[in-house]
Structure 1
Amino acid sequence: MEIVSFRTSGLGDQTYLLTHEGKGVLVDPQRDIDRFLRAAAERDVELRLVVETHLHNDYVSGGEQAALRTGAELVLPAAAAPAYPHTPAFHLEDIEGGDGLSLRPIHTPGHTPEHTSYLVLIEGEPVAVFSGGSLLVASAGRPDLLGTARARTLARLQHRSLRRLAALPPEVGLFPTHGEGSFCSASGAGRYTSTIGEEIRSNPLLAVEDAEHLADELLAAPMRIPAFYQYMGPANTLGVPPMPSTAAPELAIGDLPQDARVVDVRPRERQADGFLPGSIGIELGDDFGSWAGWLLPYRSPIVLVAEPGQDAAEAVTQLARIGIDTVRGVVRDLGPAATATFERLDLVTFTVRAAQPGAQVLDVRMPNERTVAHLEGAAERFLADLVTEGVPAELDRDHPVLVACGSGRRAAIAATLLIREGYIPAVLDGAGVPDVAAELRARRAA
């Protein structure tokens, strides 16, 4: 048996291909299924089963299309009830994969009500479990993604589900879908796979004996929920069309559609030197799609601005993974239209300016980050809230606004939003708020 992992860092998720005696099982596939089917073909594997652990909240699934493309049997939790043909997975009713391979569904509600894990049996012996968004490495799946009204009930159910999985033999391998970098995880984790025994020894949530106490733990400091999540569950229930082409037509600056949102994916140092007024800058990286889905009206028409030779197809792919198929084209040359600029400051320069009387500082990190490292005197507005709530009222358009986050990436995005509202931003680049706070303390001590 082999389990091949496909990690999608920007979403913090993993898809798995299990192979055994020439037969394959695909678990929680994302929409861009060619990479999974190519891996199966390279191993000369016949895909027998495509299984989903739950109706995903963070991406649109490629499960239905993978099954249609290969003729594999599509398996979803019995309570998911999607609007397309599938085999319902009932608790403890084994599903045969052929040649001694079978999957045993284990109902593990908590992340979602229908959530189901799959225990892998080889010749009747348990060897691995695909735990989706239930038991994670050093963590567990969030119970609050379906709204606050259901969060506590789901958190209590998660307690029972974690114990159900912890009762498996300690040598069973643990293969969760969510992990570090996923907004579906209750906390970060440095590893992506584990064993049941290792989690019993080290996962702090398995040490919480009482369901109410676990609910308190999981809901004590909830992370923000990306705006595009609200569209993922319904899409996965109704069915997701095939992956679109990732080729974006080349456009001249004078050919921009009137209704398009312009998204600049160039490196942020290039954006700082000059970008199109009114556009939003989201440097192309692993999490580009997540930030675009969070900050832009969902499925609004999009035109990308990219460097000559930059991989615009990667941006299109990341958007398609969350159901955004509205890229109208890509502009490679802004010419004289790139008139908006912002400053990029190193740590020392930023700190010197921030220490001056009357300095305006804006912290765009998440609330839970601010509890760990606080920047005294800074206005606080999480990046996504700049779109929904606007710029903090105490900031003055006539004076520069020093913007900081954890590394400079979100601060640069914020700078393009501030310029659109008439502010003059300067960005801390290559360092973060904790560095500024430490530098300010050192200066005061000196």
Structure 2
Amino acid sequence: MEIVSFRTPGLGDQTYLLTHEGQGVLVDPQRDIDRFLAASAERDVQLRFVLETHLHNDYVSGGEQAALRTGAELVLPAAAASAYPHTPAFHLEDIKGGRGLSLRPIHTPGHTPEHTSYLVLIDGEPVAVFSGGSLLVASAGRPDLLGVPRAHTLAKLQYGSLHRLAGLPRDVELLPTHGEGSFCTSSGAGRYTSTIGAEVDTNPLLAVGDAEAFAQRLMAEPMPIPAFYQHMGPANTLGVPPMPAVTVAEIALGDVPAGAHVVDLRPRAALAAGHLPGAIGIELGIDFGSWAGWLLPYQEPIVLVAQRGQNVTEAVTQLARIGVDSVRGVVYELGGTALANFELLDLSAFTDRIRADGAQVLDVRMPSEQGAVPLNGAVRRFLPDLVTEGIPAELHRGRPVLVACGSGRRAAIAATLLLRAGYQPVALTGAGVPDVVAALSA
């Protein structure tokens, strides 16, 4: 038996391919399925099953399309009741493969009501469990993605699910879908995989005494929910079209469609030096798609601005993973038009400006980050809330706004939002608020 892991860092998720004597099992595939099918072909494996642990909230699934492309049997939790053909997985009703391979569904509600984990048995012996968004490494799947009214009930169900999985043999491999970097975890998850025994010994949530205390702990400091999550569940219930071609046409500046959202994915130094007025700058990185999906209206037309040589295909792929297929083209040349700009400062220059009389500072980190390392005197507003709630009223347009986050990435995005609202942003780059706090106290 071999288990191949496909990490998607920008979403904090993993897809798995289990192979056993020429047959394959694909678990929780994302929409860009070619990478999984290529790995299966490289190993000369016939895909036998495609498993979904739950209706995903953070990405568009490629499960249906992977099954259609390969002839594999698509297996979903029975309670998911998805609108496309699949085999329903019922609690403890084994699904038989060949050559001694069996899959045992274990109903593990909590992250979602239908959530189902899959215990892998080889010749009747349990060897691994795909736990999806139930028991995670040092954490658990969050219970509040379907709304606050259901969160308490789901959190108590999650308590039982975690302990159900913790009762498996200690040497069973634990293979969760959600991990570090995912907004589907209730807290910062650690390593990507583990064993049941290691989690029994070290996972703090398994040490909580009862379901009510567990629910209170899980819901004490909920993480923000990305705006695009609300669209993922319905898409994964009704079915998703195949991944479109990820090539994107080059267009001239004058051909940008009216009403399109301009997203500048160039490095922040180029962005600060000059970008199209009104554009939102999201430097291309592993989480580009997540930020674009969070900050822009879902599925409205997008035009990208890039430097030649940047991996525009990667940007379009990240958007397609969350169901955004609305990129209309890419602009490489910005000549012939007036550009907007803002200041970028390193740590030393930034702290000098803070020390100056009348400096106004904006902290755009997550609330949990702001609470862990507060920046005294700063106005707090999490980056996405600049879009949904607007610019804080305490900030004045007539004076520079010093913007900081954890590393400079979110500060640069925020600077473009401030600039188009008529403010004078100054973004910290190459450092974050903890560095600022340390420098100011030195």
TM-score when scaled to structure 2? Answer: 0.99
Residue identity over aligned pairs, in percent, reads 77
Number of the residue aligned with 1:217 = 217
Match of 1:393 in 2: 393
Q: Which residue of 2 aligns with 1:60?
A: 60
1:135 matched to 2:135: yes
Native 8 Å contact 1:129 1:173 kept in 2: yes
* Structure 1 residues 354-433: aligned runs within 5 Å: 354-433=354-433
- Correspondence for 2:44: 44
Note the alpha carbon deviations across 1:308-351, whole angstroms, 9 max, x for none: 11110000000000000000000111114361111111111111
- 1:266 maps to which residue? 266
Instruction: Give the structure 2 partner of residue 291 of structure 1.
Output: 291
Residue 189 of structure 1 deviates from its aligned partner by 2.5
Counterpart-to-counterpart distance in 1, 2:324 and 2:159: 35
Once the two structures are superposed, what CA deviation does each residue of 1:99-118 show, in whole Å capped at 9, x if it has no partner? Answer: 11010000000000000000
Partner residue of 1:184?
Answer: 184
1:214-293 aligned within 5 A: 214-293=214-293
Q: Which amino acid aligns with 1:276?
A: L
SS of 2:10's equivalent?
A: helix
User: Partner amino acid for 1:240?
Assistant: V
Partners of 2:341 and 2:214 in 1: CA distance: 48
* Distance (whole Å) between structure 2 residues aligned to residue 438 and residue 216 of structure 1: 33
1:39-82 deviation digits (Å, cap 9, x = unpaired): 00000000000000000000010000000000000000000000
Q: For 2:165, give the aligned amino acid.
A: L
Show the counterpart of 1:88: 88
Helix, strand or coil for the counterpart of 2:26? strand
What's the counterpart of residue 98 of structure 1?
98
Aligned to 1:172: 172
C-alpha separation between the residues in 1 aligned to 2:42 and 2:190?
Answer: 30
| Larger mean Cα displacement after TM superposition, 431-440 or 406-415 | 431-440
Do the aligned partners of 1:50 and 1:72 also contact (CA within 8 Å) in 2?
yes
Query: What amino acid maps onto 1:8 in structure 2?
Result: T
Distance 2:128 2:306 in 1: 43
User: Counterpart of 1:121?
Assistant: 121
In the alignment, which residue of structure 1 is the partner of 2:434?
Answer: 434
Match of 2:200 in 1: 200
Tell me, in whole angstroms, the C-alpha distance in 2 between the residues paired with 1:335 and 1:45. 52
Alpha-carbon distance in structure 1 between the residues aligned to 2:360 and 2:149? 38
Verify the 8 A CA contact 1:275 1:337 in the aligned structure 2: no
* In structure 1, distance between residues paired with 2:339 and 2:259: 21
Give, in whole Å, the separation in 1 of the partners of 2:159 and 2:62: 29
| Residue identity opposite 2:235 in structure 1 | A
Deviation at 1:190, TM superposition (A): 2.8
**Shift of residue 96, structure 1, vs aligned partner:** 1.1
CA deviation vs aligned residue, 1:366-402 (integer Å, no higher than 9, x gap): 1111110111111111100000111111111111100
SS of equivalent residue, structure 2 residue 64: helix
Q: State the SS of the aligned residue for 1:190.
A: coil
Give the match for residue 302 of structure 1.
302
Distance 2:338 2:203 in 1: 50
Residue number in structure 1 paired with 2:30: 30
Separation of aligned partners in 2, 1:355 and 1:177: 45
Look up the match of 2:348. 348
Gaps of 5+ in 1: none
Give the unaligned 5+ runs of structure 2: none
In 2: Cα distance, 1:218 partner to 1:294 partner: 23
Q: Distance in 2 between matches of 1:415 and 1:168?
A: 50
CA distance in 1, matches of 2:342, 2:160: 51
Deviation sequence 1:112-135 (CA, Å, 0-9, x none): 000000000000000000000000
Structure-2 separation of matches of 1:338 and 1:33: 42
Q: Note the aligned Cα RMSD (angstroms).
A: 0.7
Q: Following the alignment from structure 1 to structure 2, what is the Cα–Cα distance between the partners of residues 285 and 31?
A: 19
SS in 1 for 2:205: helix
2:157 aligned with 1:151:
no
Q: Structure 2: how far apart are the matches of 1:116 and 1:327?
A: 35
> Matches of 1:132 and 1:26 in 2, distance apart?
13
Equivalence for 1:322: 322
Q: Do the aligned partners of residues 278 and 164 (structure 1) sit closer, same or farther apart at CA in structure 2, a change above 3 Å counting?
A: same
Count of equivalent residues: 442
